[in-house]
Amino acid sequence: MKKAQGFSRQLLIDAIWQAFYKMNPKVQLRNPVMFLVWVGCALTTMLLLDRLYVGDTEVFYELQIIIWLWFTVFFANFAEAVAEGRGKAQANALRGTRGQTPAKRWENGDWKAVDAASLRKGDVIYVEAGDTIPSDGEILEGMATVDESAITGESAPVIRESGGDRSSVTGGTRILSDWLKVKVSVNPGETFLDRMISLVEGAKRGKTPNEIALTILLIGLTIIFLAVVVTLQPFALYAKTSLSLTTLVALLVCLIPTTIGGLLSAIGIAGMDRLLQRNVLAMSGRAIEAAGDVNVLLLDKTGTITLGNRMATQFLPAPGVKEEELADAAQLASLADETPEGRSIVVLAKERFNLRERDLTGLSAEFVPFTAQTRMSGVNVQGREIRKGAVQAMVDHIRVCGGKWPAEVVKTAEAIANKGGTPLVVADDKKVLGVVYLKDVVKGGIRERFQELRRMGIKTVMITGDNQLTAAAIAAEAGVDDFLAEATPEDKLALIRSYQQQGMLVAMTGDGTNDAPALAQADVGVAMNSGTQAAKEAGNMVDMDSNPTKLIEVVEIGKQLLMTRGSLTTFSIANDVAKYFAIIPALFMGTYPTLGELNIMGLATPQSAVLSAVIFNALIIIALIPLALRGVAYRPEGAAAVLRRNLLLYGGGGLVVPFLGIKVIDCILSLLGVA
């Protein structure tokens, strides 16, 4: 997927216009805190216009207050508009990809050219080299290379074929070679591309449970401060002074949590945007939040924890055989073997003994390919029959040849299997030369990643179809907390349910139809884009890169979203507390001189104190927009450590920054003589 630009000139211009549009009270009503600010702005503006109508010219102070109150609403709208604008930039790029695509639909025994918009679920279409796939579907026949760069951003083409876990195709991708017969799986407007456009635009981004809970908290705090401000007027009248409605509204806006209220929506939109930048499509904001609260990660072994290809790591010769002799024979038998295992044997022989590839044409070499029946491969050269294969297959081969099977080789093969490896026996005619140790290599750095997750309180569980011994060996090497061996789809589903019954949130990845029940049951189910349609429909996220390791990044993004929301909420509430103790003493020190002792900032006048606080309140929103969009720095720490850092940095900072900011603004206003 094409990435959104940072803060381009056009994006900022569009965001400004959107900020004005969002002044609509129907739009503001979606955010109760900012709607109250909007109501205060509208009320004070009407009162100002009334005073100007009757000829009152002493309104400069109120005019400044009202302007900055409107700026507060505008900046909150601007923050949301910037976040939405980045998503809309991605949506526009995707719309260009979709375009008007023709299609060939099977009708009345023949292929008929139709527009893609007329396709319905269940239709059968034909696509060939050069065609753009018009809709999502499942491959019925054929195999082809497909360019998915418009969706995934990955330039390398991928193979799509009928049957298996790579039978799904996505509308908007392009056929590079061969042909496919595809059954359409969605109706118009429901394609993967349509959903992406809708989601990145934010059109379907509803409030998540955490957002709703936080909104309720903010409303509660707003009501409390509203009650505080309302009671100030009776106290003022009792003290034979008065506070204007404009001043009271300004005080209310400064005390209620406008900072987090103005940034809350932008934080959620930016969280989804960060996920999209990693080529993961979340079907809802709820899924991202759930990722941040995950307790258990279920990870497939192959391709996630390990590289997925068994690699030769050791030559273990039989008694009386030199290691170089074993390496030479193994290399000869692997020269025509294009599998990753075969290529790794050639590489290992070159690295260990500098054995180079040889010209076997002149030697009249005859290569024996691997078959499922023989489970062996090899080469016939210069009267020698060199074979390599699985242990039992080689046992049968040696028996037929009339050779002997060394007991030491049996022990070596068993030891390799117990370590989680695969033994590959090599024989020259009827002589057993030894064993090649094939190992499913654990990915570099994966153990450290699991340690980070453990510090965050997240349990990692490896899922594999291997036997118990092999699974245990790889689990120990990778550093996972637990494993499930010889796993079936039913086993995965039962495991997820057992963790959920313990009150845990579970995340997992999958790509096949057999993974669909588990993906649907998991709290966070990440389906691979290369997988089946059933898997993608069952999951609540789709990884367009089809990288199972991405699940760890998804959890980190979810954690960062929750950390950002918590940090800015802490900062906002601390701001309100600081502004309360900064403004109130200055506001009443004329009536109650003793309150002057609490005016620790030495604010010039009550009017300057209020105006400085209003200006600071507006500017701090705009200052925090980059942090809201970028997110706070993610660190793999436990909840207690995150809370301590949050309180110290954002709680303490939220108390100190208003005092400094308001004082600086007060000094500027005094120098300018405007308050």
| Cα separation, 242 vs 236, whole angstroms | 5
The alpha helices in 530-636, defined as continuous H runs, are: 533-538, 550-588, 606-630
Asked if residues 176 and 169 have their Cβ atoms less than 8 Å apart, the reply is no
- At 15 the three-state DSSP class reads helix
- Burial degree of 212 (CB within 10 A; 0-12, 13-18, 19+): exposed
Considering only CA atoms, which of 193, 204, 20, 188 is closest in space to residue 114?
188
Helix axes 209-238, 550-588, angle to 10 degrees: 0
Nearby residues of 472 by Cβ (< 8 Å), 6 or more positions away: 420, 483, 485
Q: How many CB atoms lie within 10 A of CB 393?
A: 16
Asked if residues 192 and 150 have their Cβ atoms less than 8 Å apart, the reply is no
Asked if residues 172 and 236 have their Cβ atoms less than 8 Å apart, the reply is no
| Cα separation, 271 vs 562, whole angstroms | 9
Q: What's the DSSP call for residue 154?
A: -
Asked if residues 579 and 659 have their Cβ atoms less than 8 Å apart, the reply is no
What residue type is assigned to position 305 of the chain?
I
| Cα separation, 549 vs 120, whole angstroms | 35
Considering only CA atoms, which of 466, 390, 462 is closest in space to residue 423?
390
- Burial degree of 672 (CB within 10 A; 0-12, 13-18, 19+): exposed
Helix axes 468-478, 407-418, angle to 10 degrees: 60
Active-site residue, 300 included? yes
DSSP strand E in 328-455: where? Answer: 366-368, 376-381, 384-389, 422-428, 431-442
- What sign does the dihedral 172-173-177-178 (CA atoms) show? negative
Percentage helix, strand, coil, to 5, in the chain? Answer: 55, 20, 30
- Please pick, among 131, 194, 300, 545, the residue that the annotation labels catalytic: 300
The alpha helices in 385-442, defined as continuous H runs, are: 391-401, 407-418
Residue identified by tokens 């294009």 is: 338
Helix axes 606-630, 652-672, angle to 10 degrees: 130
- At 590 the three-state DSSP class reads coil
Backbone φ, ψ for residue 358 (5° rounding):
-115, 155
Residue identified by tokens 């699985």 is: 390
Name all contacts of 378-381 with Cβ < 8 Å and 24+ positions apart.
378/333, 379/332, 379/333, 379/335, 379/336, 381/332
| Cα separation, 421 vs 249, whole angstroms | 72
- What sign does the dihedral 548-550-552-558 (CA atoms) show? negative
Residues designated as active site: 300
